[in-house]
A = this chain, B = another copy of it.
Amino acid sequence: MDENLETMLNHIPSDELLKLDNQLCFALYVCSKEIIRKYKPLLDPLGLTYTSYITLLALWEEDNINVKDLGHRLYLDSGTLTPLLKKMETSGWIKRKRSVEDERNVFISLTEEGFALKEKASSIPRSLICSIPFEQGEGNAFDIIQSLHQLMHTITE
């Protein structure tokens, strides 16, 4: 079995390759949506959406970062981030401040409230993982995360 992937694929009929359950994209898409849905009841009480949550996760690790770098970290562009960050500023969790050295840059920093939210959010990852009834012996969350990161880097070069 030392044929390469391409050769291997040519031995699989197109009909099989077109089945919904054989699409990597569909499996990712469904898992992503469904797991994000699971966060909702945990985030709602904090007034957070999924996107504002991951933005805070990024800022709790690295504060005072410009929109470009934040977007690079979160795989989001300014079209998504600008309105989100404006809302988060209104909510009082972050400040947006244009750089004086280079006025093209807008730096995002946490407010006291934004930083304090970390405490309240600290139970979320545990709650979430525990809410997923992983089978014994089945690859657990950590294993899957690792595979996905490998995939993520493979996809995005």
- For A144, what are the chain B residues with a Cβ–Cβ distance below 8 Å? 24, 27, 147-148, 151
Q: Is A115 an interface residue (CB 8 A)?
A: no
Judging by beta carbons under 8 Å apart, are A132 and B155 in contact?
yes
Known contacts A9-B130, A25-B39, A75-B34; A58/B20 CB under 8 A: yes
Number of copies: 2
Among A86-94, A103-111, A119-127, which stretch is in contact with chain B?
Answer: A119-127
Contact residue range for chain A?
35 or more
Q: Is A18 an interface residue (CB 8 A)?
A: yes
- A and B contact pairs by CB, cutoff 8 A, 7 listed: A9-B126, A14-B122, A22-B125, A25-B36, A25-B50, A28-B32, A139-B147
